[in-house]
Amino acid sequence: MLENKNIIITGAGSGIGRATSILAAGYGANVVCVDLNPCVEETVQEIKAGNGNAVAQIADVSREDDVQHYIQICIDTFGSLHGIYANAGVSGGGKPMLDLTVEDWHRTLSVNTLGVFLAVKHSVPHFTQAGAGAIVCTASVAGLRANAGGVDYSASKAGVISIAQTVAYQLHGTGIRINAICPGLIETGMTKPVFDSARQRGTENRIGQINPTKRFGQPHEIAEMACFLLSERASYVNGQAIPVDGGLSASHPWAFPRN
């Protein structure tokens, strides 16, 4: 599906970004795995162990010079850029609104929203030159409506959805597509505190019970959507915010009938 495509994936050291890097390499992509955390090296080792092609790059997605650098690494290593998955993000800690500081706000928005904008801004010239390119961002169901994160996190993800919608139109006629994935609750490093505290309380079996699938999601289920959107199979999918959430966001408030 991604044979000989040169792709950058951010947040590749853990969770969704790690699963997508491994899957994309399995589908034939050459992957630049970007993360702030050196654990991104383990992702690359796993890809290489499976005979895939990847390089690791330590970078802060909210720093413009780091973004320019990780894109240049892709060009220098693989010769061109076909797609980018701007996925790195932070939860912001889910603080109540009145406890949020200006610094908290800036940190969450810097990584989650500015980080996506910078990935778009600096990848687009390469795609424009080639006359094609695929941009995928990770938003969240928190960007669609309330109760899936703090106000900083939710606003940051609504911003990502808006980037996908507005950039799709600014790039009209260029051959470049951009889409945002809105995951529901996925078991990753980011949501570990939720799972750990539920396990401690013995309520783990209640996680995901308000979802029509009656479960939470796994990173590979988001990775499949990301690889599809990065590929030419998604050639007419553009400017969309696509929930991959087991159906969670499909409903108005509703209670399951008691058995």
Ligand X SMILES: NC(=O)c1ccc[n+]([C@@H]2O[C@H](COP(=O)([O-])OP(=O)(O)OC[C@H]3O[C@@H](n4cnc5c(N)ncnc54)[C@H](O)[C@@H]3O)[C@@H](O)[C@H]2O)c1
- Comparison of 83 and 89: residue with beta carbon closer to ligand X: 89
Q: Is residue 35 part of the contact set for ligand X (CB under 6 A)?
A: yes
Q: Is residue 226 part of the contact set for ligand X (CB under 6 A)?
A: no
Q: Is residue 56 part of the contact set for ligand X (CB under 6 A)?
A: no
- Comparison of 37 and 249: residue with beta carbon closer to ligand X: 37
Q: Which stretch binds ligand X (CB under 6 A): 46-54, 71-79, 183-191, 198-206?
A: 183-191
Count the site residues for ligand X by CB under 6 A.
28
Q: Is residue 32 part of the contact set for ligand X (CB under 6 A)?
A: no
Out of 27, 70, 85, 153, the active site residue is 153
Spatial distance between the Cα atoms of 204 and 196, rounded to a whole number of angstroms: 9
Residues 133-172, interacting with ligand X (CB under 6 A): 138, 140
Determine contact, residues 47/2, Cβ cutoff 8 Å: no
Spatial distance between the Cα atoms of 217 and 244, rounded to a whole number of angstroms: 9
Using CB under 6 A, pick the residue from 22, 24, 54, 111 that binds ligand X: 111
Burial of 50 (0-12, 13-18, 19+ CB in 10 A): exposed
Residue 153 annotated among the catalytic residues of the structure: yes
Using CB under 6 A, pick the residue from 37, 128, 162, 249 that binds ligand X: 37
Question: Could you write out the DSSP letters of every residue in 140-201?
Answer: -GGGTSSSSS-HHHHHHHHHHHHHHHHHHHHTTTTTEEEEEEEE-SB-SSTTHHHHHHHHHH
Spatial distance between the Cα atoms of 71 and 40, rounded to a whole number of angstroms: 16
Q: Which stretch binds ligand X (CB under 6 A): 54-62, 200-208, 232-240, 247-255?
A: 54-62
Residue 238 neighbours by CB under 8 Å, 6+ apart: 168, 177, 178, 179
Q: Which residues make up the interface to ligand X (CB under 6 A)? A: 10-11, 13-17, 35-37, 59-62, 87-90, 111, 138, 140, 183, 185-186, 188-191
Give catalytic residues, as residue numbers: 153
